[in-house]
């Protein structure tokens, strides 16, 4: 009877790296008078041509009993309450296959559902999700006005300013001087106009 619920195997599938240790569990859901649990290995996928390789069994009186041509230092079977553990150490890729636990009845053979073991040299790493790079927004910045260092005006500029001021002052002085001369000339002219009629009058008296 393959895949019976009487024998529950965990896990259903396991992948390990070379030279690691593996523990496969088989839990018996019934009480057995003759406590014997067999562990078998099927190297290829189940078919009419495939066969089961006897690895070891657990006996209530003798403990672990190994099969022929089995590396005994790599395989051990022990009991934990109703669970029967197959312990494999330093596994190799050739240890890959489906491992079944089995009990012998009269006349049937009852198998568990099996645990598929895959031994690889390198475990696949979990790829991190790639993050989409968001394009950065370009910020247009106006050029900052450069602050002028040192003196604000050069000596040439100061000289031109001073010369301009002097020219303005001279022009103003000349204009004032001409205005004064014109005023004086006008006053003289007015005085002469006043004197001429008096002279005429005095002549007429004579």
Using one digit for the tens of pLDDT, what is the confidence trace for 73-114? 999 998 888 899 999 999 999 999 999 999 887 778 889 999
Q: What is the pLDDT of residues 159-182, one digit of tens each?
A: 888 888 888 888 888 888 888 888
Distances (CA, A) of 105 to 35, 99, 203: 11, 19, 183
pLDDT of residue 35: 72
- Structure tokens that stand for 13 in this block: 């599938």
What pLDDT shows up at residue 160?
A: 86
pLDDT value at residue 3 = 64
Residue 156, pLDDT above cutoff 90: no
Q: What would the pLDDT profile of 130-149 be if each residue is shown by its tens digit?
A: 666 666 666 666 666 555 55
Please state the rounded mean pLDDT for residues 4-10: 86
Most confident of 15-19, 66-70, 198-202: 15-19
In this predicted structure, what is the pLDDT of residue 172?
86
Q: Is 61 helix (H, G, I), strand (E, B) or coil?
A: coil
- State the residue for tokens 């007429």: 204
HEC sequence for 114-148: CEEEEEECCCCCCCCCCCCCCCCCCCCCCCCCCCC
**87: Cα within 13 Å, side-chain hemisphere:** 11
Q: Which CATH superfamily is domain 7-120 in?
A: Immunoglobulins (2.60.40.10)
Average pLDDT taken over every residue of the chain: 81
């Amino acid at each position: 009877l393959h895949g019976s619920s009487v024998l529950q195997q965990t896990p259903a599938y396991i992948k390990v790296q070379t030279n690691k240790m593996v523990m496969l569990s088989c839990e018996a859901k019934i009480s057995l008078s003759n406590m014997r649990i067999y562990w078998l290995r099927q190297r290829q996928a189940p078919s009419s041509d495939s066969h089961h390789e006897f690895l070891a069994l657990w006996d209530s009186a003798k403990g672990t009993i190994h099969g022929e041509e089995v590396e005994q230092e790599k395989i051990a079977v022990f009991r934990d309450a109703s669970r029967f553990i197959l312990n494999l150490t330093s596994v190799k890729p050739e240890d890959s296959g489906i491992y079944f636990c089995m009990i012998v009845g009269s006349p049937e053979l009852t198998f568990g559902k099996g645990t598929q073991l895959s031994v690889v040299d390198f475990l696949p790493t979990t790829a991190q999700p790639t993050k989409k790079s968001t394009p950065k927004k370009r910020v247009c910045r106006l050029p900052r006005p450069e602050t002028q260092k040192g003196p604000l005006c050069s000596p040439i500029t100061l000289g031109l300013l001073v010369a301009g001021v002097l020219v303005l002052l001279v022009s103003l002085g000349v204009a004032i001087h001409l205005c004064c001369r014109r005023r004086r000339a006008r006053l003289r002219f007015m005085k002469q106009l006043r004197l001429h009629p008096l002279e005429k009058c005095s002549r007429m008296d004579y």
